[in-house]
Homo-oligomer: A and B are copies of this chain.
Amino acid sequence: SRSLSLAVIPGDGIGQEVVTEGLKVLSAALPQDVKLETKEYDFGAKRYHATGQTLTDDDLAELKVHDAILLGAIGDPSVPSGVLERGFLLKLRFAFDHHVNLRPSKLFPGVGTPLAGSPAIDFVVVREGTEGPYTGNGGTIRTGTPQEVATEVSLNTAYGIERVVRDAYARAQARPRKKLTLVHKNNVLVHAGRLWTRIFEAVGAEYPDVTTDYLHVDAATIFLVTQPERFDVIVTDNLFGDIITDLAAAVSGGIGVAASGNINPGRAFPSMFEPVHGSAPDIAGQSKADPTATVLSVALLLRHLGYDTEADRIDAAVQTDLAERSGRPARSTVEIGDALAARVAG
């Protein structure tokens, strides 16, 4: 019999509530013969306040044995900005070499969007996750004085770019439209821009059936609100990906339905799946949070591990549930989770 060993990190705020529903739907979706083993970890603000720790080498060693990680949300106003982001979220991405940050954007029928006319939105962003301006490189001199100079260094390697570009081409090739757009700012950031462009074109030669396209990041934000239907797969750098995936989530139904995977495609390390939204401390503990983004992240997790049919069932359940929401009274976190689990099981 098969098994799935999952590290579960509820985290802060609404994290526990949405993760509970995510696991409920996961259990409902998994084939009978798969034994699900979960282990919960207490990372987040509470542990930081109690111990000063965010993520230790021992923690990483423990996490490493699992098949995947499901995260709720990390972050609390009681912790200085950046501490948990860098000490936990980014540390984990770098330690487990999560170089593919996968963020699908799909405007499901019946879901609200700030855009007029509800355009057809169905694309996925493949964001590089281990390079660019996210490496912490840089520093300051004359710190705290009127003569201070601060640098941020964006690091870009042919190795790092090629593997994520290759992943993006493969994903584009597997989709009906087979279109891949590189988003960068190669007219200004020439050193990194030339490298991204060179590799994008070189790898493209191996995927002749994939249509390619290039957009500067500033122009991409315009198209994301005026013509989002033009996008199929986008590949981009760590920082540009951070920015455009939040915008993409906003136009395609909001962060309540935005899922995300921090993926190590070769499975050398467990990949981590999480909703794009934060810990929302203002509504924590009130069963008001929408667990849909977490449930969609569970579908990404299953697909990563090869459970495609099960992932499809979850996606379909979410789609039906969302389509039936409009005009009905709001449901609690648990009610939404129950409804999705019932659909997936049935």
Contact = CB atoms under 8 A, between A and B. Distances in A.
B242 A90 contact: no
Nearest to A250: B222
Contact of A151 (B90, B156, B159): B156
A156 B150 contact: yes
Contacts of A246: 218-219, 221-222
A298 interface: no
A226 B115 CA distance: 9
A334 interface: no
Contacts of A249: 222
Interface string A150-169: 11111111110010000000
Contact of A140 (B162, B195, B217, B255): B195
Interface in A129-165: 133-134, 136, 138-140, 142, 144-159, 162
A191 interface: yes
Contact of A150 (B81, B192, B250): B192
A106 to B, nearest CB: 17
Contacts of A150: 156-157, 191-192, 194-195
Nearest to A240: B243
Contact of A188 (B90, B193, B247, B254): B90
A338 interface: no
Contact of A186 (B82, B134, B218, B242): B82
Contacts of A244: 221
A114 interface: yes
A153 B151 contact: yes
A223 to B, nearest CB: 8
A146 B162 contact: yes
Interface in A203-225: 217-219, 221-222, 224-225
Nearest to A241: B218
A173 interface: no
Given A81-B187, A198-B144, A217-B243, A192 B116 contact: no
A251 B116 CA distance: 11
A185 interface: yes
Interface in A300-346: none
Contacts of A139: 191
A148 B157 contact: yes
A95 interface: no
Contacts of A24: none
A136 B185 contact: no
Given A138-B154, A191-B150, A225 B198 contact: no
A86 interface: yes
Nearest to A140: B191
21 contacts: A113-B116, A116-B116, A136-B190, A138-B153, A140-B195, A142-B158, A144-B198, A151-B154, A151-B156, A152-B156, A152-B189, A152-B191, A185-B239, A188-B239, A188-B242, A218-B242, A221-B246, A222-B246, A222-B249, A225-B225, A225-B247
Interface of A: 81-82, 85-86, 90, 113-117, 133-134, 136, 138-140, 142, 144-159, 162, 185-195, 198, 217-219, 221-222, 224-226, 239, 242-247, 249-251, 254-255
